[in-house]
Chains A and B, each alone.
Chain A
């Protein structure tokens, strides 16, 4: 099979639906903590489908609220804007891709892994003193390139997955060998097109090679979070494989191993509840 050309990928990404303007705004500011809550809440409320999704999450048992939240404005007051922002962005992006019709690609498992990485990233960010919301969103979106490949190049991608199984290699290796490019590159193209915040773009592009990104991007956090989620075996698969941990990324975070062990337990305790809350 012929490998994919970068131009084909760019073309495919251009064909994907664009996100609602308010979601693009959320993703642009996902790593900033100084946003105008009221203004943002009003914008979210204008997009009814999006507002409905956000309210459904806000009212899920995970948040354990006594009474039902009826409006986005209430939700931002009760849960805090930062929470709502991550939730709305998550709901919008997961909703942007149609459910996979392919028996060989389990989309639910895919998003569960992303939620696991998002949780790990948020926990790591809190410890390392970087934006927790930015880290959560970046974790959630880090593998978005895989979804582009499944959606736009199903035959090619299926072959890459078969190759991975046959050789028991890393997904990244299989993608490069079969497709001539990998999901990080494809994700980068989408992240640019959808105007993610720069630190999130870097995380999508470099989560497998964090030493290529600058220390202030979220690539290192998401890299370690990805390894952590695989090591915790949050989405057990027979051929599950923990990707190699970058010593550069680990050292940049400066977290000690003892503290890391407590963080593993935190994530493990939250994982199922958050999946349920996000309806994944």
Chain B
């Protein structure tokens, strides 16, 4: 989840992400949407007379909820593989557990 917000250039911090293409007065794209702002590009934008920026703010990841989903995914996999005792299936289960840590259901 993320929100798009307009901010004055002086409030911009390195590491922020652009929520839209940044164009100069002539419509030329200076930085594409999704670019990460660097200290140097902020100085360059100031020289080019840019006053406001559209940035994207990522909602903070809810660690607690993520942990809960991972745990639920782990239990679900144990349930799905409850009859799979052979070595090949066990290897697959191990991989699925790893996969669901990264992408919980």
In chain A, residues 211-255, which have Cβ atoms closer than 8 Å to a Cβ of chain B?
227, 230-231, 233, 240-247, 250
**How many residues belonging to B are interface residues under a CB distance threshold of 8 Å?**
20
Note all chain A residues with C-beta closer than 8 A to B88: 244-247, 250
Tell me the bound Cα distance from A168 to B84 in angstroms: 13
Bound: A159/B33 CA distance, A: 58
Q: Is the beta-carbon distance between B99 and A233 smaller than 8 angstroms?
A: no
Task: Enumerate chain A residues within 8 angstroms of B87, measured Cβ to Cβ.
Answer: 247
Decide if A233 touches B91 in the complex (CB within 8 Å): no
Known contacts A227-B92, A231-B80, A233-B105; A244 and B98 CB within 8 A of each other: no
Q: Which residue of chain B lies nearest to A246 when distances are taken between CB atoms in the complex?
A: B88
Nearest CB on A from B39, distance (A): 34
A231 CA to B84 CA, complexed, in Å? 11
Interface residues of A (CB under 8 A from B): 168-170, 227, 230-231, 233, 240-247, 250, 257, 260-261, 264-265, 268
Q: What chain A residues lie within 8 Å of B95 (beta carbons)? A: 257, 260-261
Which residue, B77, B82, B96, B103, has most C-beta atoms of chain A within 10 A? Answer: B96
In contact, B99 and A261 (Cβ under 8 angstroms): yes
Q: Which of B66-93 contact A (CB under 8 A)?
A: 76-77, 79-84, 86-89, 91-92
A244 to B80, CA, bound (A): 11
Check A242/B86 contact, CB under 8 A, given A227-B92, A264-B99: no
Query: B81 — which chain A residues lie within 8 A by C-beta?
Result: 231, 242
Say whether B105 contacts A231, CB under 8 Å: no
Q: In the bound complex, do residue A257 and residue B91 qualify as a contact, i.e. CB atoms below 8 Å apart?
A: yes
Identify which of B80, B92, B103, B105 contacts A245 (C-beta below 8 A). B92
Q: Residues on B close to A: CB < 8 A?
A: 76-77, 79-84, 86-89, 91-92, 95-96, 98-99, 103, 105
Q: Which B residues lie within 8 Å of A170 (CB)?
A: 83
B77 to chain A, nearest CB (A): 8
The minimal Cβ–Cβ distance linking B100 to chain A, given in whole angstroms, is 9
Cβ–Cβ contact A233 & B80, under 8 A: yes
Report how far A265 CA is from B96 CA in the complex, Å: 11
Residue of B nearest to A249 (CB): B88
Would A245 and B84 be within 8 Å (CB), given that A227-B92, A261-B99 are in contact? yes
Q: How far is the CB of A105 from chain B (nearest CB, A)?
A: 21
Q: How far is the CB of B94 from chain A (nearest CB, A)?
A: 9
- Bound together, the chains give a CA A245 to CA B103 distance in angstroms of 22
Determine the residue in chain B with the shortest Cβ distance to A258.
Answer: B95
The 5 closest A-B pairs by CB, nearest first: A247-B88, A245-B88, A245-B89, A242-B80, A244-B89
A165 to chain B, nearest CB (A): 14
Q: How far is the CA of A96 from the CA of B22 in the complex (A)?
A: 54
Tell me, rounded to whole Å, the shortest Cβ–Cβ distance linking B74 to chain A: 12
